[in-house]
Structure 1
Amino acid sequence: MVRPAGQGDDARPPGPTQRAASAVGRGAPAAAVDLSALIADREQWLGSHPRDDGAWSVLGSAYLEQARRSADPAWFPKAEKALKRSLELRPAEKGNHDAMTGMGALANARGDFGTGKRWGELVRAQAPQRWTAYPVLVDAYTGLGDYKAAQQAMERLVELRPGLAAFMRASQVYRDRGWREDAALSMEHAAGAAKTPAEKAYVMYRLGELAWERGEAAAALRQFEAALRADPGRADALGGRARALAGLGRSGEAVRDYRMALGRGSAPRLALELGELLESLGRDDEAKEAYAVLQAAASRGSVRAAEDQVVLGLFEADHGDPADAVRRLTAEWSRHKSMQVADALGWALHRAGDDEGALEYAKKATEPGLRSADFAYHRGIVEQALGDGASARRHLEEALRTNPVFSPVRAPLAKQALAAVGEPPPGGPENLRPPTPWVAPELPEPVRKPTPTPKPKPGAARPGAEPKPSPSPSGSPSASAAAKP
């Protein structure tokens, strides 16, 4: 049955405000223009309706998405203020699930995964069937290093609401487990579920990241360029294209894209990658300018997200004060025991001279399953410093096999370290080779038991006895027997 059209029906496509509101409600990316329209619309509405808790919740989520797009933490206080105002008007006890979910997502974006976990579990306890709590829980558990709980939350999300948010989290969980094919397939499902250009651009960016981690620089470049065609304002896709161009040897274009991406937002990871690329090209003065962006962020204390703390720790370990990197990353490890923090802390300890402690954290980073060339390289260098040549060779080979161009600085160093370790000696490992040539041992002759003689059956002839002549029909010996001489 088809209901006749009513006076209130509107067949026009949704406008920018409706598109952005739908995206932030589903935890999906939104276009910059749509976000700006939504923020202006909600601010104007709240000017005349200040007690609308739902509008405050939507405004807080829009501020948070703006912070993600621009990589500008200045939006975080605005998002927190709007979400808290929504909770004041309608407390959590009365089921203000949208604001509670927004607070959890905000905590995760700030790197406070413990708080994000508490908000997500509170929403799940009040409304177990509400699917919006589970993306918050997946991100929080992943940041805390509880990958088993993250997988369980992801499976529940896929069961409740298969779609863009669920497939993106599934890809994230599979990547952390080292299941590359599953991660790529889930992200392709997310691409099929994406509706707006902004959503498609984000999915293409994530597919490019997965291709880059597999060492497929050309495939990664195609995905990043597709993301930029769908949404030219994505700074992270522009930075990904720069990374792929550097891996393909197109350094000039890579430097251009890095600078353009940093002009749209001060992302610490991109600043570090640009500095290392310039350093590998011998442009040390320009590299120092890129590093100065990181140093300024550290001095201002504006780096709060866990990912940025890891980047800053790696920068200090390689280009600054390793002891300061150890202090910074040890504090981060006390809050978030993820693989990324473990890898960075292990590398900082190695640079500070504590190789035994470094190996402990390098194992925590590599053993959960994530296939990372940087993780394998760091562990291989630590094992080389400890004199474990066999393990160092295995992990250095793994790093170059995973992604031969994972870094313009570290990839050549990995090749040099692998050449210094050398090839394994012929004949197998030393603990498996016998000290003297192998000689067959003298074994005693087996004792052979005599074969028993079978007993004759009744009526059968005994061995060696002549057979009795068969009687003739007349009862006399047969003619043949009589014919014998």
Structure 2
Amino acid sequence: MEIQERQPVLTGLQPQEPSGPRRSHLAKRLLIGVVAGSVVLGGVLVLLPSTPRAAAPRPAAGPPGRANTAVTAGVPVAVADLVAVIGDREAHLRAHPRDGQAWAVLGNAYAEQARRTGMPAYYPKAEKALRASLRSRPEKNQAAMDGLTALANARGDFLAAKEWGETAVEQSPKRWTTYALLIDTYTGLGDYKAARRTLEKLQELHKGPRVLARASRVYWNLGWREDAAATISDAAAGAATPAERAAYLQQAGELAWERGDVKESLSYYKAALASDPDEHGSLAGQGRALAALGRMSEAMRSYQTALARQPAPRYALELGELYEKLGLTGAARVQYDLLRDRVRQDEAGGVDDELVLGLFEADHGDPQAAVRRLRAEWEAQPGIPVADALGWALHRAGDDKEALKFAKKAMDREHGGGVRSALYAYHRGQIERELDLVGPARRHLAEALQINPHFSPLFAPSAQEALTAMGEPSEEGPPDPSEETEEPAAPERATTPALRRPA
């Protein structure tokens, strides 16, 4: 049976509307509910048979057992194995509805199912199951707390993830899996120093492919591109399952793409799909690389397949822009309508799509609406991608002076950690060009094309056209006035010792 056709076995786990995508006080509210214990499992067990508490037998060998082990460790799981472990745990919970461990496994599996299949309705189901686990086992329930941290990360609610993850670390400081999740959390919040500090702690506690994959992301954000590439290759080589290997190969493909190594990125994406055909991110990545190589028909088919299997807003935006590049404006509008519809579905599942929606509105919709959305996102979660997107939205809305402040923030080594992004450089260069800062504009537009000459089917050609229009650089001029522009304020961060490069 296809996973999209699967109906919930447990009546009490029907998806429910969340209070909204922002859950900054979620952890505190749930912990109070756990301690109070006034509502037994919050209605999740309604209509389930009442039975005495029993020890949870582990899932049977084979797919359920493999998936249980992987889900518990936070490792990518094959879709077929997810279906197996979900069915196994649902059946177990009908007989043992107060088994907190089983609820935690089920909640984590639901969250992974939502991530792998792009079905946001499973996120509320995951939250209900994880709440049930905490109410059944309110003390030292690290599996449930890790699950809630991962769930909040997947939804893009990094404030809630921070609350859950830091609470889990306080209770069990030697549990390595929580530190891996917190690296993603701190990166989402733009706290790169905390991410580096957390990686150091993680490396003290554990070794293995999952740690290497997190380390690769941190190294990339520090600007250590070769180290990042080598580390993710090591992670893929050490992966225990095809699904895990595919996830790391996809990450390797993303890094190669960001470096401008189009053919290498395509090789990684193909290898990921050979390892796990359900790695939909690699289908979209393959489309991106094929378009850069001029293989447009293949690129469109790859994107269309990715969207049919997982209609992510980012994929719809990329395919829409590819259609625009090819002059297919009607087809582009269809993708943009799909993007809006998908964002609404994600919002119902508690997912924060403000970043991709803001970029879409800035370039293809209402720039003023983009500014409002992204300014609110910056106030809540001041990450580097948000700074870049907000700066670009301000530019598109006509406020280039403020736009430059955020564009600088996105490329600032102290706060951004050394990220080299062609898109960020392009955005900054175009803002500077509008402000008649010709030298800096030329430098950043050239940098964008140097990093990745194919970074966007629409904007890479625009960067080249702008450079041509500006002509050759003149003799040495006055200092760059953009360097004196005041940067937007961001929360104060604790100082962190420098992370050592890998040997």
Q: Do both share a fold (TM > 0.5)?
A: yes
- Determine whether 1:253 maps to 2:298: yes
Correspondence for 2:72: 25
- Write the letter of the residue equivalent to 1:394: R
For residues 195 and 180 of structure 2, the distance between their equivalents in structure 1, rounded to whole angstroms, comes to 9
Alignment of 1:185-224 (within 5 A): 185-224=230-269
CA contact (8 A) 1:117 1:136 kept: no
Correspondence for 1:380: 429
Correspondence for 1:451: none
Distance change in 2, residues 1:294/1:338 (3 Å):
same
Larger Rg: 1
Give the counterpart of 1:132 among 159, 177, 184. 177
SS in 1 for 2:271: helix
Distance change in 2, residues 1:244/1:14 (3 Å):
farther
- Determine whether 1:315 maps to 2:364: no
Correspondence for 1:59: 106
Correspondence for 1:429: 477
For residues 93 and 176 of structure 2, the distance between their equivalents in structure 1, rounded to whole angstroms, comes to 27
Please report how far the alpha carbon of residue 155 of structure 1 lies from its aligned counterpart in structure 2 after TM superposition. Answer: 1.3
Structure 1, residues 262-285: CA drift from partner, whole Å, max 9, x if none? 001110111000000011001111
CA contact (8 A) 2:123 2:350 kept: no
Structure 1, residues 292-322: CA drift from partner, whole Å, max 9, x if none? 111223456448544x321111110011000
Structure 1, residues 358-389: CA drift from partner, whole Å, max 9, x if none? 00110111112211100000000000001101
Please report how far the alpha carbon of residue 183 of structure 1 lies from its aligned counterpart in structure 2 after TM superposition. Answer: 1.0
CA contact (8 A) 2:388 2:409 kept: yes
Correspondence for 2:150: 105
- Determine whether 1:288 maps to 2:333: yes
Alignment of 1:170-181 (within 5 A): 170-181=215-226
Distance change in 2, residues 1:353/1:268 (3 Å):
same
For residues 115 and 206 of structure 2, the distance between their equivalents in structure 1, rounded to whole angstroms, comes to 24
Please report how far the alpha carbon of residue 192 of structure 1 lies from its aligned counterpart in structure 2 after TM superposition. Answer: 2.5
Any gaps of 5 or more consecutive residues in structure 1?
Answer: 1-12, 433-485
Correspondence for 1:365: 410
Alignment of 1:80-95 (within 5 A): 80-91=127-138, 94-95=139-140
Give the counterpart of 1:43 among 73, 85, 90. 90
SS in 1 for 2:468: helix
For residues 200 and 415 of structure 1, the distance between their equivalents in structure 2, rounded to whole angstroms, comes to 37
For residues 69 and 393 of structure 1, the distance between their equivalents in structure 2, rounded to whole angstroms, comes to 41
Correspondence for 2:124: 77
Please report how far the alpha carbon of residue 291 of structure 1 lies from its aligned counterpart in structure 2 after TM superposition. Answer: 0.8
- Determine whether 1:265 maps to 2:310: yes
Give the counterpart of 2:467 among 418, 422, 437. 418
CA contact (8 A) 1:60 1:79 kept: yes
Please report how far the alpha carbon of residue 331 of structure 1 lies from its aligned counterpart in structure 2 after TM superposition. Answer: 1.1
CA contact (8 A) 1:26 1:165 kept: no
Correspondence for 2:450: 401
For residues 178 and 74 of structure 1, the distance between their equivalents in structure 2, rounded to whole angstroms, comes to 37
For residues 431 and 336 of structure 1, the distance between their equivalents in structure 2, rounded to whole angstroms, comes to 33
SS in 1 for 2:315: helix
CA contact (8 A) 1:383 1:389 kept: yes
Alignment of 1:133-152 (within 5 A): 133-152=178-197
- Determine whether 1:236 maps to 2:281: yes
For residues 255 and 303 of structure 1, the distance between their equivalents in structure 2, rounded to whole angstroms, comes to 28
Runs of 4+ with deviation above 2 angstroms: 295-306, 428-432
Distance change in 2, residues 1:397/1:100 (3 Å):
same
For residues 395 and 303 of structure 1, the distance between their equivalents in structure 2, rounded to whole angstroms, comes to 39
For residues 208 and 252 of structure 1, the distance between their equivalents in structure 2, rounded to whole angstroms, comes to 21
Structure 1, residues 215-241: CA drift from partner, whole Å, max 9, x if none? 111111110000000101111110110
**CA RMSD, 1 decimal:** 1.5
Structure 1, residues 328-371: CA drift from partner, whole Å, max 9, x if none? 11111111111111111000000000001100110111112211
- Write the letter of the residue equivalent to 1:43: E
Please report how far the alpha carbon of residue 14 of structure 1 lies from its aligned counterpart in structure 2 after TM superposition. Answer: 4.9
Give the counterpart of 1:336 among 357, 381, 391. 381
- Write the letter of the residue equivalent to 1:130: R
For residues 350 and 415 of structure 1, the distance between their equivalents in structure 2, rounded to whole angstroms, comes to 19
CA contact (8 A) 1:100 1:119 kept: yes
Correspondence for 1:115: 160
Distance change in 2, residues 1:129/1:31 (3 Å):
same
Give the counterpart of 2:400 among 355, 359, 371. 355
Distance change in 2, residues 1:79/1:304 (3 Å):
closer
Structure 1, residues 431-485: CA drift from partner, whole Å, max 9, x if none? 79xxxxxxxxxxxxxxxxxxxxxxxxxxxxxxxxxxxxxxxxxxxxxxxxxxxxx
For residues 408 and 119 of structure 2, the distance between their equivalents in structure 1, rounded to whole angstroms, comes to 34
CA contact (8 A) 1:297 1:303 kept: no
For residues 345 and 209 of structure 1, the distance between their equivalents in structure 2, rounded to whole angstroms, comes to 23
Give the counterpart of 1:389 among 438, 443, 449. 438
- TM-score normalised per structure 2: 0.81
Structure 1, residues 152-186: CA drift from partner, whole Å, max 9, x if none? 10111111111122111111111112211111122
For residues 60 and 299 of structure 1, the distance between their equivalents in structure 2, rounded to whole angstroms, comes to 23
Any gaps of 5 or more consecutive residues in structure 2?
Answer: 1-59, 481-503
For residues 478 and 161 of structure 2, the distance between their equivalents in structure 1, rounded to whole angstroms, comes to 51
CA contact (8 A) 1:392 1:421 kept: no
For residues 430 and 54 of structure 1, the distance between their equivalents in structure 2, rounded to whole angstroms, comes to 65
- TM-score normalised per structure 1: 0.84
Please report how far the alpha carbon of residue 399 of structure 1 lies from its aligned counterpart in structure 2 after TM superposition. Answer: 0.2
Correspondence for 1:4: none
Name the stretch that deviates more: 107-116 or 26-35: 107-116
Correspondence for 1:8: none
Distance change in 2, residues 1:89/1:430 (3 Å):
closer
- Write the letter of the residue equivalent to 2:129: A
SS in 2 for 1:424: coil
For residues 74 and 393 of structure 2, the distance between their equivalents in structure 1, rounded to whole angstroms, comes to 35
Correspondence for 2:22: none
For residues 87 and 275 of structure 1, the distance between their equivalents in structure 2, rounded to whole angstroms, comes to 43
Distance change in 2, residues 1:265/1:376 (3 Å):
same
